[in-house]
Amino acid sequence: MKFVVVGAGTIGQLRAQSIRLNPATELVGVVDPVPAAAERAVAGSTARTFTDLRTALELPGLEAVIVSSPLPAHEEQVVAALEAGKHVLCEKPLGNTVESCQRMLAAAARSGKTLATGFNHRYYPSVKYLTEVVRSGKIGAIDHLRIFGAHDGLHNFRTDWQYKAPASGGGAMMDVGIHMTDLAVHLLGDVVEVYGVASNRILQVPGSEDNAVAIFKSPTGIPVTYHAAWTEWKGYRWYVEAYGEKGMVRAYYAPMFNLLITQERPGAPRKKSYQFHFDVMVREKLKGWTSTALLTFQEELRDFLGMSRGERTNLATGFDGFRAVEIASAVYRSTRDGQPVRLTPR
């Protein structure tokens, strides 16, 4: 499948690399208003560079576009690519408003092409382990989830669109928290009720919460406690915990590890095991976090090929991208009204 990548920054470079590493895909173009950025992504290949997506969409045989540009550019580019009949994988967050995401979903429905969202946390080794444990039934029926994602503040941002509303769509929930929201949706099938409180008392960026604490509910009433923060003194970290009738499983980063505790029946001995992902720890010490991101992007790309053939995969759909933004928006509404917000089931 022939691909164009739009936006050749930190993430776009890795997206371009993931395409070049896959024998079933070919990078034919990279779009960036900064020519040097696009040139870096295509170096040593026959792919062309562009400063404008419209021209790139005319490349012969082009079938798919990966949108890894700044968030405020997503909607226009996703819609243009879909209208040109291309499959699209768009980086998270899909859009900066619920309405923007809805317009992208409508364009996907009109085109009949695939729209997927780049929630690559689904592919982190500790999350894959947790997902497998939950799906295997090893910890029994799930009773509740605990989810947390955070970093230590505004020094993590290089440009305004990454954290200043309205371009960013909000604060911690739209940034580090959006992956965690998606993991709740991924593990439970969906989230249909949201109650929460978002605040910006510490960093005081207008419209961008530095903390959001919320409760989500799945369609069958399974609750999730959720916390997204920009004020985590320890620095970037996240965890997901699933608690079942017969045990619990945790996925943690950083360092990347899993904890699994199981008990066959009440009163029976508990089995506890840790799984440390030493390969990830060592590789990241030597090559940084982007080396792990690249591996997740390679897996996402393989699933994107499957999804575009109509197969069921672990990849987040366009609807999942919309849902994560809708959940953040519901927390804002709940903060304002002091009431839970019901979402329309999918």
Does 82 bind ligand NAD (CB under 6 A)? Our answer is: no
Among 18, 117, 120, 208, binds ligand NAD (CB under 6 A): 120
Among 19, 57, 91, 107, binds ligand NAD (CB under 6 A): 91
Q: How far apart are the C-alpha atoms of 109 and 78, rounded to whole Å?
A: 13
Stretch that binds ligand NAD, among 5-13, 105-113, 138-146, 338-346 (CB under 6 A): 5-13
Chain residue whose CB lies nearest ligand NAD: 9
Does 11 bind ligand NAD (CB under 6 A)? Our answer is: yes
How many residues sit in the footprint of ligand NAD (CB under 6 A)? 22
Enter the tokens of residue 240: 């997901």
Does 4 bind ligand NAD (CB under 6 A)? Our answer is: no
Site string for ligand NAD, 140-169 (x = CB under 6 A): -------------------x----------
Q: Is 136 exposed, middle or buried (0-12, 13-18, 19+ CB in 10 A)?
A: exposed
Does 317 bind ligand NAD (CB under 6 A)? Our answer is: no
Tell whether the torsion through CA atoms of 50, 308, 305 and 95 is positive or negative: positive
Q: Is 171 exposed, middle or buried (0-12, 13-18, 19+ CB in 10 A)?
A: buried
Q: How far apart are the C-alpha atoms of 31 and 54, rounded to whole Å?
A: 10
Among 5, 6, 295, 331, binds ligand NAD (CB under 6 A): 6
Among 1, 4, 5, 8, binds ligand NAD (CB under 6 A): 8
Minimum distance between the CB of residue 49 and ligand NAD, rounded to whole angstroms? Answer: 11
Among 12, 169, 244, 318, binds ligand NAD (CB under 6 A): 12
Contact at 8 Å (CB) between 118 and 270? Answer: no
Contact at 8 Å (CB) between 223 and 117? Answer: no
CA dihedral 143, 194, 125, 260 (to 10 degrees): -20
Does 89 bind ligand NAD (CB under 6 A)? Our answer is: no
Q: Is 97 exposed, middle or buried (0-12, 13-18, 19+ CB in 10 A)?
A: middle
Q: How far apart are the C-alpha atoms of 343 and 192, rounded to whole Å?
A: 5
Does 25 bind ligand NAD (CB under 6 A)? Our answer is: no
Binding site for ligand NAD (CB under 6 A): 6-12, 31-34, 37, 68-71, 73, 91-92, 118, 120, 159
